[in-house]
Amino acid sequence: MLVTSQTDKQTKASHTPDNVSIKAQRMGFEFGEAVPQYWLDNSYLISHTMNALSVLFPEGEQFFVDSVRAFRDQIKDPKLKEDVRGFIGQEAMHSLEHIAMNQHVRDQGMPVEEMEKDLKVILELTRKLPKRHQLAITCALEHITAMMADMLLERDDVREDMHESMRPLWVWHAIEETEHKAVAYDVFQSVGGTYAERAFYQLFATSALGVVATWYTGRMMMNDRKNFSVKGAAKDVWRMWGKNGTFSSLIPAWAEYFKPGYHPWDKDNSELIARFKSQIEQYIAPQYQKGNRRTLQ
């Protein structure tokens, strides 16, 4: 009996709740004249910040997929194998939808192509790290996206600040980030990832993301400097980083990652998935109502 229990413990590597389904869904979002230039509460700085984050997603999520896929043959737990399939499919859909958004940002005169090229160079350098270290980076960034997703789904004020033409994309993305928030982490744990690797690369990835996101936001602001104002920028910085700010409010959740026994599902927010998933289904384009099989698997 003891041997069986140990074997079960070793093979059952997925900790995603049974009531959470990780399945890819193409949405077919379109972005046109209905989207205002400053789509987040008419805020210059915050809208450019979110646009900059969107530019990071297609290439960044391909990196996530590659880092997880590198260990797929080592996974023994059937449920975790299925989780990985869902993770890869969902990340593929995120890339496609954000490519559409990024085209809209490009049409506004932003240097999206140059930023994408620079990001490819950064990620190619990162790919020179050992495979498990790349996976640790993915775990760290998945934690950041998951806590941002949780904040978006929990806070009515943040969602309502988004223009109605842009809100469905970000809510849908938040739902799926919540669904697969533990997949990379479970793979990392199952292939022998260590606490030291996890903690170090959270610091590394957070710093790198902060630098690149700030750099990209600045480039967009330079292309749109005619609308810049010191007063407006100061107000927006306070909204993001002041008391109960959009990003400053995430610091406690970010710090949770450094607990030795931490797991992404320590906070079970699966009820948020159920609440918003039924609402977001109305935004699926007709051609994708019956699903879409295109993935990066």
SS (H, E, C) 184-224: HHHHHHHCCCCHHHHHHHHHHHHHHHHHHHHHHHHHHHHHC
Residues sharing a CB contact under 8 Å with residue 284, sequence separation 6 or more, in sequence order: 25, 26, 27, 28
Residues sharing a CB contact under 8 Å with residue 101, sequence separation 6 or more, in sequence order: 29, 31, 54, 166, 169
Supply the pLDDT for residue 296: 35
Supply the pLDDT for residue 26: 95
pLDDT one-digit tens code per residue, 267-282: 999 999 999 998 999 9
Supply the pLDDT for residue 34: 86
How far is residue 71's CA from residue 52's CA, in Å, rounded to a whole number? Answer: 30
Instruction: Pinpoint the alpha helices (H) of 155-296.
Output: 156-161, 167-179, 183-190, 195-223, 230-241, 251-256, 270-280
CA atoms in the 13 A half-sphere facing the CB of 205: 26
Residues of the chain with pLDDT under 70: 1-11, 291-297
How far is residue 53's CA from residue 63's CA, in Å, rounded to a whole number? Answer: 15
Q: Which of 231, 26, 219 is nearest to 116 (CA)?
A: 219
Supply the pLDDT for residue 255: 98
Supply the pLDDT for residue 200: 98
Supply the pLDDT for residue 33: 85
Supply the pLDDT for residue 289: 85
Supply the pLDDT for residue 4: 34
Supply the pLDDT for residue 291: 63
